[in-house]
């Protein structure tokens, strides 16, 4: 996970960001000096700032504290001429890394190559901002943001969050604007699988990324399972474009039919350790539960233990823990 705090000190915006990692796993640091664009090939946090005066600035920081700053509101040839004059301190711990950054803000538009231009944001004149994080490994890439953009990049200014000092406020929005993130949020409000399934199928037909299609089809397969339509669940799983997600959905469908032995036969040789890191936990969990139901306690314990290393979702972690507890009780 990723957490942050912001504050205003004098004429500066201060941001603290904490990036959680697996214990013992160091971040992928690809840049050690300011301006090194190799930063984009490793782990980084990226701050997108559109002030009331200028849209917009990007400030990216590597785990070692290297900074790449751009004025994306300038002509493209001048993007990298801008200097935020930011002060940065980073720390790499055993299970996290942190960034503390002070970003000076000026109202003087006579020196556009230096500092963020704007005034302290208020509810009536807010800034628009996004805090983003990228994790890049050999076995997968994870992009996350405070305000999800609904695309495979962070540079969607219309999706930036309102940023200002003051109480919570609901700003006007265009209800006609739709994208995958908004659509998935609306699906989450539905309660009946018979309503959820067609909504997810419609979402999967849009102009979306492979990852988004995989998410929609995996959830659609789960809705079909809830409706006891296992043939449709199989057909939907087969359409999932990411193999690790597809195999997880297939295992879930078999397990829902009490076919744990078939899961074991079909997926025992699957090397989940080579899956994209963001899907390993789900794969280990469903296969571990299948081993448990098939009375293969050794493999069940191994898979469920591995699942806990990768799972972040609380309900999934509890499912893995319950499985391990049942193994202990059976001894």
Tens-level pLDDT at each residue, the chain (331 residues):
899 999 999 999 999 999 999 888 899 999 999 999 999 999 999 999 999 999 999 999 999 999 999 999 999 999 999 999 999 999 999 999 999 999 999 998 887 778 999 999 999 999 999 999 999 998 889 999 999 888 888 999 989 999 999 889 888 877 777 889 889 999 999 999 999 999 999 999 988 999 999 999 999 999 999 999 999 999 999 999 999 999 999 999 999 999 999 999 999 999 999 999 999 999 999 999 999 999 999 999 999 999 999 998 899 999 999 999 999 887 6
pTM of the model: 0.81
**Contact partners, residue 9, CB within 8 Å, separation at least 6:** 102
Domains of the chain in start order, with CATH, are 2-163 (2.60.40.1190), 180-330 (1.25.40)
pLDDT for the residue 109? 84
pLDDT for the residue 13? 97
pLDDT for the residue 303? 98
Q: How far, in Å, CA of 35 to CA of 47, rounded?
A: 15
pLDDT for the residue 175? 75
Cα three-residue angle 4-41-62, rounded to 5 degrees: 35
101: closest CA among 53, 69, 142, 135? 69
User: Residue with structure tokens 């972040």?
Assistant: 312
Q: How far, in Å, CA of 235 to CA of 6, rounded?
A: 47
Cis peptide preceding 142, ω within 30 of 0: no
Helix (H) or strand (E) holding 13: strand 12-20
Q: How far, in Å, CA of 227 to CA of 201, rounded?
A: 15
On whether the CB atoms of residues 222 and 199 are closer than 8 A, the answer is no
Two tokens, residue 325 = 């507890």
pLDDT for the residue 59? 98
Cβ atoms within 10 A of the Cβ of 331, count? 5
pLDDT for the residue 100? 98
* C-alpha 324: how far from chain center: 28
């Amino acid at each position: 996970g990723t957490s942050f705090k912001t504050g205003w000190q004098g004429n500066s915006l201060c941001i603290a960001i904490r990036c959680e990692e697996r214990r013992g796993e160091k971040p992928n640091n690809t840049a050690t000096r300011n301006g090194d664009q190799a930063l984009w090939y490793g782990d980084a946090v990226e701050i997108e700032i559109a002030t009331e005066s200028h849209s917009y600035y990007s400030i990216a920081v590597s785990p070692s504290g290297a900074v790449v700053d751009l004025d994306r509101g300038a002509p493209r040839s001048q993007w990298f001429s801008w200097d935020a004059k930011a002060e940065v301190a980073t720390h790499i711990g055993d299970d996290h890394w942190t960034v503390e950054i002070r970003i000076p803000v000026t109202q003087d538009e006579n020196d556009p190559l230096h500092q963020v231009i704007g005034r302290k944001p208020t509810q009536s004149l807010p800034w628009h901002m996004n805090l983003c994080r990228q994790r890049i490994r050999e076995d997968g890439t994870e992009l996350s943001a405070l305000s999800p953009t609904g695309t495979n990049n962070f540079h969607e200014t219309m999706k930036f969050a309102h940023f200002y000092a003051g109480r919570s406020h609901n700003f006007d929005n265009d209800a006609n604007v739709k994208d995958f993130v908004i659509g998935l949020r609306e699906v989450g409000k539905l309660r009946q699988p018979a309503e959820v399934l067609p909504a997810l199928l419609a979402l999967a037909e849009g102009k979306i990324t492979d990852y988004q299609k995989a998410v929609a089809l995996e959830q659609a397969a789960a809705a079909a399972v809830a409706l006891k339509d296992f043939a449709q669940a199989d057909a939907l799983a087969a359409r999932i474009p990411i193999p690790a997600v597809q195999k997880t959905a297939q295992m879930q469908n078999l397990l829902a039919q009490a076919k744990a032995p078939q899961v074991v036969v079909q997926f025992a040789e699957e090397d989940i350790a080579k899956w994209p890191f963001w899907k390993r936990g789900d794969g280990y969990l469903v296969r571990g539960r299948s081993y448990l139901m098939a009375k293969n306690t050794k493999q069940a314990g191994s898979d469920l233990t591995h699942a806990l290393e990768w799972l972040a979702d609380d309900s999934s972690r509890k499912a893995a823990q319950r499985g391990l507890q049942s193994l202990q009780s059976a001894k």
